[in-house]
């Protein structure tokens, strides 16, 4: 069965466990950067690990949701107060230095907008313990994927923690938490015999967990669950028996794709344990019965998550070559906003690494200060500069806090100072220490045909991607020349498809793949062109081993060289071109070499392309702008949320095996992969919005082009109900998901005006079938506390319609046999009279001998038997046994002759048929037609590329000419300004003209890009339909030939008879 694995994965994830010291609380001193006031507090964590909370001397309680915590730092990594007076006030401990007692808790809604909670412990050991515990709680994968019941408990915990100094719960907090419908809240409170005025207070002892559940049931009634409960056997009695509950779990909730030996259905005793866990009535539980209340608790419990916890765990094979993995990758990591303006940030490297990214980018430039310190910035833009050394320190600090697997540093090195390059190399060696991989591993030398090491081999290692100087070789000048040719190839803009953005003076540059002019290559930063990288010095070159960037020439050349340690980068447009022209070759290339895709230069707003496009081709490092949380980034976060959030995902087997070939544009079944059928029914929603508005749900599927369906389904909008809307609509069915391992389902909820509420992205291969809650997340993939959907999902192996009856018979053979027997009895009345007539006419001996075989019922070939079929007989017997008016029995000699002829005729094998001249001739003709079709497509594509290049050059030349004219005018004006008598005006006009020219140029390039991309896609589509039509015509010809042969055979047989 699909989904079966070599063995059952032993779950390594540990549930949340809060230590006693965190529950009891510890004294700290809290301080802020912008104030000299320090506040003594008692810091605690609730027993479930939901919140970090503290009370000050006035007994006021403040909360910090641990799901918002990104990091916890102590000692030298924590923030230190700059004000000497503040330092003096904080230095209150008597055990350990102040620096070692500092704690900084980093939290925020996303990677850019972060805040700090600064604390000082009284002892060093206390600071270390709290730092480790808080980070462990905040990064616990099970805590990030809690059950529906846990989220409701979290809301209850929040209410219980936010109490007055007297220990009472303010009702205003309840109204604030459930703000969608004030009237409903009032009614639910009154049903629980609680006060309902907004200004009232509730004693904690009156608001028990049981009262809270009653309150929720009255606030958000669930008739749809009552219906499910009744339909599954509780119509006449208010409970399900243990057998009924077992059937429900095994038939509705179990994944049919699982191997029944490795993952057996639940037995009675296992179901009894679940009943005892969830049934609140102990008397019923002991009898093996579960009420509707217990049933609801089971559905929202930890055993019934929509994704099994083993998928969250590190469960993929990490011992394969690096090229066999998708690697979570970042583009221009240092930026916090757009590509042309905004702040660069050292903190972004920490945040990106903590989020699970394993490949970060460093754009290095020569520092202009007296200290000659290299910097990181986006060249020739208005983005700020940050210290290269500080970035290296930040990477070293957070490299392996989230994942132990290797970090890849993608250097874009514009430092043309040998001295500063030497500094860069020195910083890497000193700060990274043993973590920096300086030499290739002994088992994996840098030789042709040798694969890259695995993530397991490279655990806790940092690898550098930078231009490399020519290799020293003692094996002859020829080899040395080849090495120099490949290693020294460099430039920066990726191709003619992605020219430099004129406003910035730079397209996103990559040293490894470009087609810019030679004069651009020789430009330096000071000359105003960021389109070239500096030559690598010996020091930087020595840091490079397994990731050596080279200019991409062709898939054929790369295959011949067979060097896994060489890799190339492609701007997204160049990547799309290669994917469109040579999809199969691109997949093959990615089996043995790394490829990196990065956004085109015109994405100045830091938007992202859809990473799925390049995952489909097996590209490993699909780099995105992490600061922009758009749909593309959301899909990326959904992809790398699994496999222990390690930043590595193993590619599907056919993208790794050399004997398999895969076309990402395929529409048929992939060899060795079982397609899935997925059905999703949106049943209801709970607490979807904090406003009284209508809501609706949209469902998308992303994967291969054939699997992708944007906005495949949309529910009706609920009428002003965001608390418990119910949708009685037909499910959305994805009949055939060709590649489930690369497909993901997105379910998103919106307010009636189109405002986004929340969503969830789920891998098709990991989705559990059955009735489940989908706890929603915001656009930054952070869990929302209350909003959830209740759905019914069916997932099974895809079966073509032709074989549906066969599968039905195999899956339920008893039902099938009973059905066949029933049909046989129904037909008996019609066939009895004919059988009696046959018996009368036939010889008594024959009748007795043939009766048993004629009465035997056998299923038809496709698994369905609509009529009683007889055992096949030789043609002579078949002809003889059919009565006809006035017919006489055929002579025995004739029967014997026909029988002997038929028995001598042997069926030809498929291989023999393929050797026939007519078949071979037809096959050659078809092959030539298809080959010509592909050639014409390639010619059209080449012509289109040439046309685009010409238009780009025309636009560029026109831009340079007009800019030169404006600059010339500006120089004349500046000379006039230097004269005392000359009035000071006109400079602002020139600047405006230059800005307008840049904007005009940028827009022209954007238009040109969009037009070219659309034309290429149109060409691909035209080619696809042409090939499809041609294949259909070929099939018709083959069918006609086969039919002619069949007619000829029948004619010869009839003539002979």
Q: Is the pLDDT of residue 195 over 80?
A: yes
Q: Round to whole Å and give the CA distance between 416 and 413.
A: 8
Q: Strands (DSSP E) along 753-798, which ranges?
A: 756-763, 770-777, 783-797
Least-confidence region, from 187-201, 874-888, 977-991:
874-888
- For 97-112, what is each residue's pLDDT tens digit? 888 999 999 999 999 9
Domains of the chain with bracketed CATH: 20-218 (2.30.29.240), 221-304 (1.10.238.10), 322-655 (3.20.20.190), 676-798 (2.60.40.150), 804-872 (no CATH), 906-948+996-1013+1026-1057 (no CATH)
Q: Is the pLDDT of residue 889 over 70?
A: no
Q: How far is CA 508 from CA 116, 412, 1010, in A?
A: 32, 10, 18
> Residue 611 in contact with residue 638, Cβ under 8 Å?
no
Highest mean pLDDT among 204-218, 843-857, 864-878: 204-218
- Please list the helix, strand and coil fractions of the chain in percent, rounded to the nearest 5, in that order: 45, 15, 40
Helix (H, G, I), strand (E, B) or coil at 6: coil
Helix (H, G, I), strand (E, B) or coil at 1025: helix
- For 326-377, what is each residue's pLDDT tens digit? 999 999 999 999 999 999 999 999 999 999 999 999 999 999 988 999 999 9
* Res. 471 pLDDT band, cuts 50 70 90: low
Q: Is the pLDDT of residue 186 over 60?
A: yes
- For 782-838, what is each residue's pLDDT tens digit? 999 999 999 999 999 998 877 777 766 766 677 777 777 787 777 776 665 555 544
Q: Is the pLDDT of residue 325 over 70?
A: yes
The arithmetic mean of pLDDT across residues 281-299, rounded, is 96
* Res. 1033 pLDDT band, cuts 50 70 90: confident
Least-confidence region, from 208-212, 530-534, 735-739, 844-848:
844-848
More confident residue, 344 or 522: 344
Return the closest-CA partner of residue 257 out of 789, 660, 765, 664. Answer: 765
The arithmetic mean of pLDDT across residues 764-781, rounded, is 96
The pLDDT value recorded for residue 8 is: 63
* Res. 1051 pLDDT band, cuts 50 70 90: very low
The pLDDT value recorded for residue 73 is: 97
Least-confidence region, from 303-317, 502-516, 1006-1020:
502-516
Q: Round to whole Å and give the CA distance between 1030 and 581.
A: 19
Alpha helix positions (H), 168-260: 171-177, 182-191, 209-219, 223-231, 242-248
- Dihedral pair phi/psi, residue 167, rounded to 5°: 85, 25
Q: Round to whole Å and give the CA distance between 103 and 22.
A: 15
The pLDDT value recorded for residue 921 is: 79
The pLDDT value recorded for residue 987 is: 61
* Res. 516 pLDDT band, cuts 50 70 90: very low
The pLDDT value recorded for residue 811 is: 65
Instruction: Please enumerate in sequence order all residues whose Cβ is within 8 A of that of 293, keeping only pairs 6 or more positions apart, or say none.
Output: 279, 280, 281
The pLDDT value recorded for residue 715 is: 95
Question: Over the chain, what is the mean pLDDT?
Answer: 84
Share of the chain above pLDDT 90, in %: 61
- For 816-828, what is each residue's pLDDT tens digit? 777 777 877 777 7
Annotated binding site for Ca(2+): 332, 361, 363, 412
Of 100, 324, 331, 772, catalytic:
331
Q: Could you tell me how far CA 454 lies from the centroid of its own chain?
A: 22
The pLDDT value recorded for residue 705 is: 96
The arithmetic mean of pLDDT across residues 112-136, rounded, is 95
- For 687-701, what is each residue's pLDDT tens digit? 999 999 999 999 999
* Res. 157 pLDDT band, cuts 50 70 90: very high
Question: Is 378 in the active site?
Answer: yes
Helix (H, G, I), strand (E, B) or coil at 60: coil
The arithmetic mean of pLDDT across residues 539-543, rounded, is 96
Highest mean pLDDT among 92-106, 365-379, 926-940, 1006-1020: 365-379
Of 77, 100, 116, 378, catalytic:
378
């Amino acid at each position: 069965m699909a989904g079966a694995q070599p063995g059952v994965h032993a779950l390594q994830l540990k549930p949340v466990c809060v230590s006693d010291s965190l529950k009891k609380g510890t004294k700290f001193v809290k301080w802020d950067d912008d104030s000299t006031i320090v506040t003594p507090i008692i810091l605690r964590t609730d027993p479930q690990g939901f919140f970090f909370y503290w009370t000050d001397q006035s007994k006021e309680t403040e909360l910090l949701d641990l799901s918002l915590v990104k990091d916890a730092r102590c000692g030298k990594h924590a923030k230190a107060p700059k004000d000497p007076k503040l330092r003096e006030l904080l230095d209150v401990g008597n055990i350990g230095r102040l620096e070692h007692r500092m704690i900084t808790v980093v939290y925020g809604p996303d990677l850019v907008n972060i805040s700090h909670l600064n604390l000082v412990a009284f002892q060093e050991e206390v600071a270390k313990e709290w730092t480790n515990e808080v980070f462990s709680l905040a990064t616990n994968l099970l805590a990030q994927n809690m059950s529906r019941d846990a989220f409701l408990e979290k809301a209850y915990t929040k209410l219980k923690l936010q109490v007055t100094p007297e220990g009472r719960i303010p009702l205003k907090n309840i109204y604030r938490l459930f703000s969608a419908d004030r009237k409903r809240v009032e009614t639910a409170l009154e049903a629980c015999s609680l006060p309902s005025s907004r200004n009232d207070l509730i004693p904690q002892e009156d608001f028990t967990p049981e009262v809270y559940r009653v309150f929720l049931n009255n606030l958000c009634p669930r008739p749809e669950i009552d219906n499910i409960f009744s339909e599954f056997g509780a119509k006449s009695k208010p409970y399900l028996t243990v057998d009924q509950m077992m059937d429900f779990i095994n038939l509705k909730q179990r994944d049919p794709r699982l191997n029944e030996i490795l993952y057996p259905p639940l037995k009675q005793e296992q179901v009894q344990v679940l009943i005892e866990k969830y049934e609140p009535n102990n008397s019923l539980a002991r009898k093996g019965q579960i009420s509707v209340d217990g049933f609801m608790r089971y559905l929202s419990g930890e055993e019934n998550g929509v994704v099994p916890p083993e998928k969250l765990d590190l469960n993929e094979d990490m011992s394969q070559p690096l090229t066999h993995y998708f690697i979570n990758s970042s583009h221009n990591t240092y930026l916090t906003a757009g590509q042309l303006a905004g702040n660069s940030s050292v903190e972004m490297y920490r945040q990106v690494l903590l989020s699970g990214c394993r490949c970060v980018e460093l754009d290095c430039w020569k520092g202009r200060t007296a200290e000659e310190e290299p910097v990181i910035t986006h060249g020739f833009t208005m983005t700020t500069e940050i210290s290269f050394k500080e970035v290296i320190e930040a990477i070293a600090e957070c490299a392996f806090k989230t994942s132990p697997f290797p970090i890849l540093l993608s250097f874009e090195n514009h430092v043309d100072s040998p001295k500063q390059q030497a500094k860069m190399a020195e910083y890497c060696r000193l700060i990274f220490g043993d973590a920096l991989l300086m030499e290739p591993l002994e088992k994996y030398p840098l030789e042709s045909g040798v694969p890259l090491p695995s993530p397991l081999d490279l655990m806790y290692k940092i690898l550098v991607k930078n231009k490399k100087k020519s290799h020293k070789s003692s094996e002859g000048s020829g080899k040395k020349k080849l090495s120099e040719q490949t290693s020294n190839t460099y430039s920066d803009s990726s191709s003619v498809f992605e020219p430099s953005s004129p406003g910035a003076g730079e397209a996103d540059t990559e040293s490894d793949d470009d087609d810019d002019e030679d004069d651009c290559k020789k430009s330096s930063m000071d000359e105003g062109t960021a389109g070239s990288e500096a030559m690598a010095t010996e020091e930087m070159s020595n840091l490079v081993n397994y990731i050596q960037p080279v200019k991409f020439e062709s898939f054929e050349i790369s295959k011949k060289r067979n060097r896994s340690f060489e890799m190339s980068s492609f701007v997204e447009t160049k990547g799309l071109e290669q994917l469109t022209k040579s999809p199969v070759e691109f997949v093959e290339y990615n089996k043995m070499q790394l490829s990196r895709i990065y956004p085109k230069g015109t994405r100045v707003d830091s938007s992202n392309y859809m990473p799925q496009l390049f995952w489909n081709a097996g590209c490993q490092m699909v780099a995105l702008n992490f600061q922009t949380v758009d749909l593309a980034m959301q899909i990326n976060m959904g992809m790398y949320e699994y496999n222990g959030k390690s930043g590595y995902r193993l590619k599907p087997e056919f993208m790794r095996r050399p004997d398999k070939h895969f076309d990402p544009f395929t529409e048929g079944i992939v060899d060795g992969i079982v397609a899935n059928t997925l059905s999703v029914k949106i049943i209801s929603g709970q607490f979807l919005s904090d406003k009284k508005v209508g809501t609706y749900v949209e469902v998308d599927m992303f994967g291969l082009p054939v699997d992708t369906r944007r906005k495949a389904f949309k529910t009706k909008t609920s009428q002003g109900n965001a608390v418990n809307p119910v949708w009685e609509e037909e499910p959305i069915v994805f009949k055939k998901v060709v590649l489930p391992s690369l497909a993901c389902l997105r379910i998103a909820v919106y307010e009636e005006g189109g405002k986004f509420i929340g969503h969830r992205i789920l891998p098709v291969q990991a989705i559990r079938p059955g009735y489940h809650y989908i706890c929603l997340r915001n656009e930054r993939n952070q869990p929302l506390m209350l909003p959830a959907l209740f759905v019914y999902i069916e997932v099974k192996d895809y079966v073509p319609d032709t074989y549906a009856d066969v599968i039905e018979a195999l899956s339920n053979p008893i039902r099938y046999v009973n059905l066949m027997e029933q049909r046989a009895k129904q037909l008996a009345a019609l066939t009895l009279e004919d059988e009696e007539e046959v018996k009368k006419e036939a010889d008594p001996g024959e009748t007795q001998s043939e009766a048993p075989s004629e009465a035997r019922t056998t299923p038809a070939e496709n698994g369905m038997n609509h009529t009683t079929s007889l055992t096949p007989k030789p043609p002579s017997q078949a002809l003889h046994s059919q009565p006809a008016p006035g017919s006489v029995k055929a002579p025995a000699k004739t029967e014997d002759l026909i029988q002997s002829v038929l028995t001598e005729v042997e069926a030809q094998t498929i291989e023999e048929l393929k050797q026939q001249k007519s078949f071979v001739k037809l096959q050659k003709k078809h092959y030539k037609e298809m080959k010509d079709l592909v050639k014409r497509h390639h010619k059209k594509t080449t012509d289109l590329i040439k046309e685009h290049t010409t238009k780009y050059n025309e636009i560029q030349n026109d831009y340079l000419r007009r800019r030169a004219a404006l600059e010339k005018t500006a120089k004349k004006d500046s000379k006039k300004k230097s004269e005392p008598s000359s009035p000071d005006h006109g400079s602002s006009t020139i600047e405006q003209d230059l800005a307008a020219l840049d904007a005009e140029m940028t827009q022209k390039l954007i238009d040109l890009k969009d037009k070219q991309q659309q034309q290429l896609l149109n060409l691909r589509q035209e080619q696809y339909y042409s090939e499809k039509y041609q294949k259909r015509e070929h099939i018709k010809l083959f069918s006609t030939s086969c039919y002619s042969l069949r007619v000829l055979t029948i004619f010869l047989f009839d003539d002979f008879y």
